[in-house]
């Protein structure tokens, strides 16, 4: 074929069909907004403000920053779809394929306008999907229309920087739907950019609300275990790995539990937290490594993993910057670190299942339930040595109560309990955090009513409650009930 021209023909994609397809990259609102904040950070912006109008028929969303802005040629290039992902990017550039601004925006709205001021000169470009469908060509509008200028005036866009304005928000709707979605996105942005927010490098607002950083590791909590940082070398770059073990859920306040949870609770948020240039790319999950999977006992394990932007291809960073996969040669060590973190998480729950000594005493607390191993699996049995259980067994006809206890053990709703733990992250039950005094007293009186009538035995059993769950939590109330019971018995 040397010296001969190849037979060819030009086969351009249909503009209106392709741009509709580009809307289906899988963005949700938080990831779309995060892509635009990436651009603001790359433009050295210190302040980013997300404004919106939810009026039916006139809804819009605007993302405004005070970065360096773009000239006409720069904006022309920025509005072109795609760029070579192999090109070396500047330090601090969080981009990837040159698609984020366009695909992220058009995933949420049919009309994207970018206004940018650089050296006191305004540049404007608009992608309008409906106009492209009408023209059947890749044409971008180069002059701002009167409506977008009114929006710019309303949001106070007058100085250097960039304003990205979404209109025809078909994927977001309008009214309360749009307001709720934009406001809810703030939590995910607080997590995605928590390192920038913590250092003051970025100030982020949504509507009138300032966004505070959301630390996924609760480093300020005294019971959080920081396992230190290890550096792994790959392609001439250092990859930093820092395992962290969260405290047991019973040691977390409701506020702390909310901070480390998200959709799916703590169970869904366990695993690796992958950073690219200090920007969180992946928030949880085990990256498909080995046989690692999410489980309730391992939900306290979180591992910060930092990769520099220059290793995007090696780590298979996707267009949305939301998934990665480690290089094969790093997998063995990452699996080792993950297994260690998971084991430490499991140990926290195992230790809490064993009898514990009360502070200042040498006697053990008697739990109501014992954790046992059967055929390699965890199971639970009622503790026959618990004072109330032992008393009930001794006073009941032979084997009568034992059958009931075994029925309770056999029919324990394990799947429902596991599901509840998954959805609420095993928060401490509210009644144990803030016990109702009268309710506890009523429970104790009810239990004592069914005990043997012998005064000495009743006193012994009542005193034993000081060492038994759940009454060991309320020694003052137990002593009070003993005194009341003794008085009533005389």
Find, among 213, 12, 18, 264, the residue nearest to 129 by Cα. Answer: 18
Every domain of the chain and the residues it spans: 15-210, 225-352, 369-489
Residue 245: predicted pLDDT? 97
pLDDT digits (tens, 9 = 90+) for 47-78: 999 999 999 989 999 999 999 999 999 999 99
More confident residue, 403 or 87: 403
Choices 3.30.230, 1.10.10, 3.30.70, 1.10.540: CATH for 225-352: 3.30.230
CA distance 303 to 273: 6
pLDDT digits (tens, 9 = 90+) for 196-227: 999 999 999 999 999 999 999 999 999 999 99
Flag whether pLDDT at 15 surpasses 60.
yes
CB 227 within 8 A of CB 242: yes
CA distance 283 to 250: 23
Beta bridge partners of 377: 374
Torsion, Cα of 190, 193, 199, 201 (10° steps):
-110
Beta bridge partners of 449: none
Residue 316: predicted pLDDT? 77
Residue 353: predicted pLDDT? 45
Confirm whether 15-210 and 225-352 share one CATH topology. no
Over residues 157-180, the mean pLDDT reads 93
As a whole-number percent, the residues of the chain with pLDDT over 70 amount to 74
Flag whether pLDDT at 436 surpasses 70.
no
Flag whether pLDDT at 173 surpasses 90.
no
CB 196 within 8 A of CB 205: no
CA distance 101 to 32: 8
Pairing label, strands 203-206, 47-53: parallel
CA distance 457 to 482: 12
As a whole-number percent, the residues of the chain with pLDDT over 90 amount to 50
Flag whether pLDDT at 364 surpasses 70.
no
pLDDT digits (tens, 9 = 90+) for 282-339: 999 999 999 999 998 899 999 999 997 778 888 878 666 667 889 999 999 999 999 9
Residue 93: predicted pLDDT? 46
The mean pLDDT value of the chain amounts to 82
Flag whether pLDDT at 183 surpasses 70.
yes
CB 214 within 8 A of CB 194: yes
- Which residues, at least 6 apart from 305, have a Cβ–Cβ distance to it below 8 Å? 239, 240, 241, 242, 272, 273, 274, 275, 334
Residue 226: predicted pLDDT? 96
Across 202-241, b (16+ Cβ under 10 Å) vs e yields bebebeeeebebbbbbbeebeebbebeeeebeeeeeebeb
Flag whether pLDDT at 427 surpasses 60.
no
Query: Which CATH code is given to the segment(s) 15-210?
Result: 3.30.565.10
More confident residue, 393 or 207: 207
Beta bridge partners of 279: 276
106: tokens are 């058009």
CA distance 410 to 128: 63
pTM: 0.71
């Amino acid at each position: 074929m040397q010296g001969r021209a190849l037979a060819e023909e030009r086969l351009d994609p249909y503009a209106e069909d392709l741009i509709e397809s580009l809307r289906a990259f899988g963005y949700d609102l938080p990831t779309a907004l995060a892509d635009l904040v990436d651009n603001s950070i790359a433009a050295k912006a210190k302040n980013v403000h997300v404004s919106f109008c939810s009026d039916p028929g006139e809804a819009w969303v605007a993302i405004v920053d005070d970065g360096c802005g773009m000239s006409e040629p720069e904006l022309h290039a920025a509005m072109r779809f795609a760029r070579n992902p192999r090109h070396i990017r500047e330090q601090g550039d969080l981009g990837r394929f040159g698609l984020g601004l366009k695909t992220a925006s058009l995933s949420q709205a049919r009309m994207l306008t970018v206004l940018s001021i650089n050296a006191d000169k305004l540049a404007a470009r608009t992608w309008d999907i409906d106009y492209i469908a009408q023209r059947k060509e890749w044409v971008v509008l180069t002059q701002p229309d009167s409506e977008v200028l009114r929006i710019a005036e309303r949001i106070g866009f007058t100085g250097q920087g960039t304003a990205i304005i979404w209109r025809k928000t078909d994927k977001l709707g309008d009214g309360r739907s749009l307001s709720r979605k934009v406001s809810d996105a703030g939590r995910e942005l607080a997590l995605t950019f928590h390192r920038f927010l913590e250092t003051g490098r970025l100030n982020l607002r949504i509507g009138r609300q300032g966004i505070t950083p959301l630390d996924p590791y609760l480093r300020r909590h005294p019971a959080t275990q920081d396992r230190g940082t290890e550096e792994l070398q790959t392609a001439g770059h250092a990859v930093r790995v820092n395992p962290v073990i969260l405290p047991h859920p019973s040691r977390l306040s409701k506020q702390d539990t909310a901070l480390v949870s998200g959709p799916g609770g703590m169970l869904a948020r366990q695993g690796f937290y992958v950073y690219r240039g200090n920007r969180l790319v992946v928030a949880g999950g085990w990256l498909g490594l080995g046989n690692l999977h999410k489980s309730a006992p391992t939900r306290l394990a979180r591992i910060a993993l930092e990769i520099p932007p220059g290793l995007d291809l090696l780590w298979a960073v996707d267009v949305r910057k939301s998934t990665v996969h480690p290089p094969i040669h790093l997998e063995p060590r990452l699996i080792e670190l993950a297994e260690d973190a998971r084991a430490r998480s499991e140990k926290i729950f195992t230790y809490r299942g064993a009898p514990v000594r009360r502070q200042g005493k040498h006697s053990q607390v008697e739990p109501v339930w014992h954790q046992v191993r059967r055929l390699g699996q965890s199971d639970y049995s009622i503790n026959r040595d618990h004072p109330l259980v032992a008393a009930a067994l001794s006073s009941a006809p032979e084997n009568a109560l034992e059958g009931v206890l075994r029925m309770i053990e056999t029919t324990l709703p394990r799947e429902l309990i596991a599901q509840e733990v998954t959805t609420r992250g095993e928060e401490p039950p509210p009644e144990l955090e803030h016990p109702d005094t009268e309710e506890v007293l009523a429970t104790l009186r009810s239990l004592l009513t069914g005990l043997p009538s012998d005064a000495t035995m009743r006193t012994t059993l009542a005193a034993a409650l000081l060492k038994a769950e759940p009454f060991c939590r309320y020694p003052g109330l137990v002593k009070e009930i003993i005194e009341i019971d003794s008085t009533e018995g005389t």
